[in-house]
Structure 1
Amino acid sequence: MTKLPKPPVDCISRVRFTPIEGNVQFLAASWDCTVRLYDAGTHRLLGQHKQSLPILDAVFFEGSAKCVASGLSKKVILS
């Protein structure tokens, strides 16, 4: 098990790995109102987005490093 830098401070609602072969990034959506992008190979936090309410799901577009996330705020985050 590996500790992540700046991990969520509340429950993680979804973890998704990028569908691109050789790319070791993953998203972590959380009840702390944040979706974070990590590099699984280096364990670095690459980016994050915070909303006013918990984020329930996040997913990469098929064959892409682009992602979408949404939660209780009823807003969709595109990245």
Structure 2
Amino acid sequence: MNSVSYDAAQRITLGMKASDCRFIMDEWLHRDAPCTLTVRRAKTKGLLCVVADINPNENPDGLYFLSWCVQHLNSRVKVDIKRL
């Protein structure tokens, strides 16, 4: 099981449907872009990947934003966390 580290740089990837991605990007703009997000097509048909490189020591707001995303999508999102 992957878990978020609060002291190491990591790449967090969220896999979601396009309609959910639009919701996330609207909220991202509303919150004045708390982290850098990259959106790309996923290998799984019909899904998009939202990728964020997060360093919690420098900018914890990005980590909080991604946590908010998972909670508000009611777990309709696939999460992958890797250390950088």
- Settle same-fold status: TM greater than 0.5: no
Of Structure 1 and Structure 2, the greater helix share is in: 2
Of Structure 1 and Structure 2, the greater strand share is in: 1
Which one scores higher on RCO, CA 8 angstroms, separation ≥ 6?
Answer: 2
Taking structure 1 as the reference length, what is the TM-score of the superposition? 0.29
Taking structure 2 as the reference length, what is the TM-score of the superposition? 0.28
